[in-house]
């Protein structure tokens, strides 16, 4: 089905692996399209409660875009490539099911942008993050100038974007770019642990929280008003009835999927 990624589902978790290890999992156009398709499929599958995106091998999550693919693009082709890349990142960010980036090695350029579009980022100890696009004479094209500021603040983000400096996993955690740093062998188990914990919660509430968080950054949208509306709508759901009944009767909630 896919040429550039592997898609594997087990125990409610869909793992999407960028399978271009010989190219350090560089993100060509087809790979980004396949990632988008796999995330959409995961959201449509009732058996899936969480998604992990990672890269094949120990060296790279995704070491940037595939420069050889676009080196001769004209303005129109480059603009379309950027717009299509944004569409993939937006699909991940707006996923109603939590998406974790399991960052195993280099996450540079488009790879860093891919990780930032995920809801959470868990990094192996050898992970490296950076936006080196200014070395190529271009700005980031898949949301890097926006999401890096959202995650770590304007001052440090500006420094990293303008200097093209890469940072290690621990520094990335210090800045708030990643949620946790673990040994390589613990990377996927840690992601599974987090997704299983989230998976025990109300799936409707989880999706709602994601929508409310995203509303904070949407132009022309009032996140507070979104929260008020979503809170009210939740009272009409089966999940609300199950969650409150379980709390009042001192039992563990069992939410439908």
Instruction: Check whether 170 has a pLDDT greater than 90.
Output: yes
In a shared domain, residues 28 and 88: yes
Question: pLDDT confidence of 1, banded at 50, 70, 90?
Answer: confident
Inside any domain, residue 176: yes
HEC letters along 70-102: HCCCCHHHHHHHHHHHHHHHHHHHCCCCCEEEE
Catalytic residue among 133, 193, 218, 242: 133
In a shared domain, residues 18 and 121: yes
The number of distinct structural domains making up the chain is 2
In a shared domain, residues 25 and 62: yes
**Domain end point (choices 165, 180, 198):** 198
Q: Select from 142, 150, 151 the least CA-distant residue to 32.
A: 142
Instruction: Check whether 256 has a pLDDT greater than 90.
Output: no
In a shared domain, residues 222 and 170: no
Inside any domain, residue 256: no
Catalytic residue among 21, 37, 69, 113: 113
Across the range 166-178, mean pLDDT stands at: 98
Inside any domain, residue 172: yes
CA angle 132, 213, 138 (to 5 degrees): 20
Q: What is the pLDDT of residue 188?
A: 98
Instruction: Check whether 65 has a pLDDT greater than 90.
Output: no
Inside any domain, residue 111: yes
Instruction: Check whether 55 has a pLDDT greater than 90.
Output: yes
In a shared domain, residues 215 and 186: no
Q: How buried is residue 240: exposed, middle or buried, by Cβ count under 10 Å (0-12/13-18/19+)? A: middle
Inside any domain, residue 253: no
Instruction: Check whether 257 has a pLDDT greater than 90.
Output: no
pLDDT digits (tens, 9 = 90+) for 107-144: 999 999 999 999 999 999 999 999 999 999 999 999 99
In a shared domain, residues 99 and 150: yes
Instruction: Check whether 95 has a pLDDT greater than 90.
Output: yes
Q: What is the pLDDT of residue 164?
A: 98
In a shared domain, residues 193 and 205: no
**Domain end point (choices 162, 181, 198):** 198
Output the domain CATH number for residue 69. 3.90.226.10
Inside any domain, residue 257: no
In a shared domain, residues 138 and 238: no
In a shared domain, residues 213 and 178: no
Containing 114, the helix (H) or strand (E) segment is helix 110-117
Instruction: Check whether 202 has a pLDDT greater than 90.
Output: yes
Could you tell me what percent of the chain has a pLDDT over 90?
96
Mean pLDDT, the chain, integer: 96
Cα distance between residue 243 and residue 87, in whole Å? 35
In a shared domain, residues 76 and 115: yes
In a shared domain, residues 35 and 141: yes
Inside any domain, residue 235: yes
Instruction: Check whether 68 has a pLDDT greater than 90.
Output: no
Inside any domain, residue 254: no
Instruction: Check whether 66 has a pLDDT greater than 90.
Output: no
Catalytic (active site) residue 113: yes
Across the range 185-211, mean pLDDT stands at: 97
In a shared domain, residues 75 and 106: yes
Instruction: Check whether 62 has a pLDDT greater than 90.
Output: yes
pLDDT digits (tens, 9 = 90+) for 175-190: 999 999 999 999 999 9
For residue 235, the enclosing domain spans 201-248
Could you tell me what percent of the chain has a pLDDT over 70?
100
């Amino acid at each position: 089905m896919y040429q550039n990624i592997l898609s594997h589902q087990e125990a409610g978790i869909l793992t999407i692996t960028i399978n271009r290890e010989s190219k350090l999992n560089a993100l060509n156009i087809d790979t980004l399209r396949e990632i988008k398709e796999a995330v959409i499929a995961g959201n449509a599958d009732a058996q899936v409660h969480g998604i992990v995106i990672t890269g094949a091998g120990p060296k790279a999550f995704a070491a940037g875009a595939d420069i050889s693919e676009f080196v001769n693009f004209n303005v129109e082709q480059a603009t379309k490539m950027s717009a299509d890349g944004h569409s993939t990142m937006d699909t991940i960010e707006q996923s109603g099911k939590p998406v974790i980036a399991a960052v195993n090695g280099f996450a540079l350029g488009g790879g860093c942008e891919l990780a930032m579009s995920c809801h959470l980022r868990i990094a192996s100890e050898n992970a490296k993050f950076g936006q080196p696009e200014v070395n190529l004479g271009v700005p980031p094209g898949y949301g890097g100038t926006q999401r890096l500021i959202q995650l770590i603040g304007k001052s440090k983000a500006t420094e990293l974007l303008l200097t093209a400096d890469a940072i290690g996993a621990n520094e990335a955690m210090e800045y708030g770019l990643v949620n946790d740093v673990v040994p390589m062998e613990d990377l996927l188990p840690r992601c599974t642990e987090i997704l299983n914990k989230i998976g025990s919660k109300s799936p409707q509430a989880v999706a709602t929280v994601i929508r409310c968080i995203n509303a904070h950054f949407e132009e022309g949208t009032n996140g507070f008003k979104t929260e008020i509306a979503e809170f009210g709508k939740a009272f009409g759901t089966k999940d609300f009835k199950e969650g409150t009944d379980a709390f009042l009767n001192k039992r563990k909630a069992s939410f439908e999927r």
